[in-house]
Amino acid sequence: MLFQQTSIIGPTAAIISAVVCYVIVLSVYRLFLHPLAKFPGPKLAALTKWYEFYFDLLKGHGGQFAWEIQRMHEIYGPIVRINPFELHVQDPDWFDTLYAGNPTKRDKYPPAASMAGAPLGTFGTVEHDVHRKRRAANSHLLSTRAIFDAQPLILDQVRILSDQFERYLNTKEIIDLRVTFLAFTTDTITRYALGESKDLQENKTLAVDWSATIRAVARITPLMKQFPWMMTVALYIPIDILRFFMPELSRLVQYHAEMRAFAERFLSQQQASQEKPKIHETPSNMALFQCISDSNLPVHEKSAKRLAHEAVVVISAAAETTSRALSITMFYILSDPQVLRRLRDEIDIAMPDYSILPSAKALEELPYLVATVKEALRISAIITSRMPLMAHTELAYMNWKIPVMASRTFLFCNRETGWLTHYKTPTSMTIHDILLDSNIYENPHNFNPNRWLGEDSVPERYFVPFGKGTRMCQGMRYAPATIFPFGRA
């Protein structure tokens, strides 16, 4: 009996001892021997990513780590080690260094790239060179020329929105601007990029349900960031089971399935047709997929899965960010009689005929309207998510040298390169820190279009609602083109 007890206790004790030794060795390494050990920050954050997990998923309603990073900077200064592998910098004048343009190379930190559950899309691409090719493939869709050609399509959706507002006015019904504008922006981008509208503006029930889906995507994002494999696993779980246990994740899975259906339909149509339509002639006929199909990307980069991943991000990002900007614009304009009066006077003088909706190009020539839209984009773009990138060369901030090989990440890139091992230091900044910097913007929480007018206007280098550099948001031309016509409507 004693021998049996010893035989059981022996392996158990060995396992426990091994685990304890591993934790001790790992702790010593991360706190004292790691390449980032010299950087300031909380020791617990340097020790484990569970620190970030707690603030993003457990504390309050979640998503609190951004505010904890703010607290870290208040204590430790402008550069902080926020987890075992990542640094965060709070200095608007260093933004151009981290988010530099070509030929500078920046990889995206894999956990951040996987937030949308679409690693094959441009947004979810880690490697710089692969990202550049994918971005170039769909760049025509969001080019100035293509968006200009799509103005009639955008104005049609604006007219539907204008008619809807008139109906609400006549019936005295309360408007939920978040749902209303999201329906408008979603119908616009799906009509433009996928060739057909979701018709949310005509169906309030569908609009409310879609709004719930977008909110679910936002809430599930911190979880996806902590567990990048979750979306891959979720796709294999029956939707009814997933809906019961994780309703928010089930909405994201259904959204992925919807975009996959669009992609498969496009490929089926393409296979059945010998003649390809030209993108500049039919900008609304599944234009997103056609751009990628007509590109020089290899065949495996044009699969239904990759097309679907691209659509997942393009549709949700274009719809949600633009609708948020519109909601905020409407709120602040109606809340400030002086802004409303000045805006009306400028538009009335330039375009006295209310029956004609002007183009975005004509509206872009109105300085106060432009300033109002810029201020709306500044306020609405104050996202708290940081944007970690990994430089290919050593970076310098003040007296600090940010090493290249500070963390190891295993990454499946694509069929050509397979699994890669990255040894780079993820370094991040937050747009929120720049757009609300009181040293740049006087009373930054106030909505003030005048800050963009005159000789004393805010320098353009600090207007970063779309980010900067090679990872800059591709919708920087599309969003204003959608917002400007609304100003006249």
Binding residues for heme: 473
Binding-site sequence positions = 473
Are the C-beta atoms of 153 and 300 separated by less than 8 Å? no
Q: Where are the beta strands (DSSP E) in 310-392?
A: 389-391
How far, in whole angstroms, is CA 482 from its chain's centroid?
18
**Alpha carbons 390 and 411: distance in angstroms, whole number:** 14
**In this structure, which long-range contacts are made by residues 203-211, counting pairs with CB atoms below 8 Å and at least 24 apart in sequence?**
204/179, 207/179, 207/180, 207/182, 207/183, 208/179, 210/182, 210/183, 210/186, 211/178, 211/179, 211/182, 211/183
DSSP reduced 3-state for 309: helix
Quote the crossing angle between the two packed helices 204-226 and 304-335, to the nearest 10°: 110
**Alpha carbons 271 and 284: distance in angstroms, whole number:** 19
String of b and e for 74-95 (b: at least 16 CB within 10 Å)?
eeebebbbbbbbbbbbbbbebb
**Alpha carbons 198 and 238: distance in angstroms, whole number:** 25
Which amino acid belongs to residue 322? T
Query: For 446, what's the count of Cα atoms within 13 Å in the CB-facing half-sphere?
Result: 10
Q: Which of 179, 242, 246 is nearest to 210 (CA)?
A: 179
**Alpha carbons 49 and 56: distance in angstroms, whole number:** 11
Are the C-beta atoms of 487 and 372 separated by less than 8 Å? yes
**Alpha carbons 406 and 395: distance in angstroms, whole number:** 12
Are the C-beta atoms of 343 and 487 separated by less than 8 Å? yes
How far, in whole angstroms, is CA 155 from its chain's centroid?
26
How far, in whole angstroms, is CA 248 from its chain's centroid?
18
String of b and e for 346-362 (b: at least 16 CB within 10 Å)?
bbeeeeeeeeebbbbee
Q: What's the chain's Rg over C-alpha atoms?
A: 25
Within 8 A by CB and 6+ apart from 474, the residues are 122, 135, 138, 139, 142
